[in-house]
Amino acid sequence: MKIILFSFLFFTGLAAKAQQVSVPDLFGMLEWPHQRIDTSLKKMGYLLMQKDMDSVSSIYQYSHLDRNEEKPTTVRSLVYMDVKSGNLSSRLITYRTYSQDEFVSIASWLLENGYKTKEKFDFGNQKHTVYTNGKEIIRMKVITTEIEEGKVFISYELELGK
């Protein structure tokens, strides 16, 4: 019975984190072809919400809704944009979560992997922090949105590109 309970708790814990996209995977996605990104995100339960393409760019927006009876619902999104001009190409990835725990986990990963604060910007309802490890640059954003009735939502974004 203990083994069954342990197994259930272990796999439940894995499933709870399965919807989060890790920072190493985000860096990997900078090089992955679209099919690999699409397949990976769909396996994690993300839905393709929007796709816009023209002759020089493509934008893909994926979303995930993590419903949990014991915790507030967590919304996540991943948007990536590819731009090509002649032989030059670039990709920008923006990963957004509304989970403060996930934000803390991402910030911890950055610190544990040699990233240091390079710059900070305060735009009122948006706080931007730029991190670098000497080779790569990541922008973390904390965005506070106030809606009617005094409700406040805070989103956390991680932005990286090549």
Residue-range domain boundaries for the chain = 21-161
For position 2, what pLDDT does the model report? 37
Q: Per residue in 82-94, pLDDT tens?
A: 999 989 999 999 9
What amino acid occupies position 126? Q
How distant is the alpha carbon of residue 138 from its chain centre? 12
Query: Where do we find the tokens 């893909």?
Result: 60
Per-residue H/E/C for 101-126:
HHHHHHHHHHHHCCCEEEEEEECCCE
Q: What predicted TM-score, i.e. pTM, was given to this entire model? A: 0.82
Copy the structure tokens of residue 40: 């990976």
Q: Find out whether 118 and 41 touch, Cβ atoms under 8 Å.
A: no
Whether residue 74 is predicted with pLDDT greater than 80 in this model: the reply is yes
Q: Find out whether 120 and 129 touch, Cβ atoms under 8 Å.
A: yes
Strand partners, 63: 47, 77
**Measured between alpha carbons, how far is 49 from 11 in angstroms, rounded to an integer?**
28
Whether residue 11 is predicted with pLDDT greater than 60 in this model: the reply is no
Q: How many residues does the chain have?
A: 162
Q: Per residue in 141-154, pLDDT tens?
A: 999 998 888 888 89
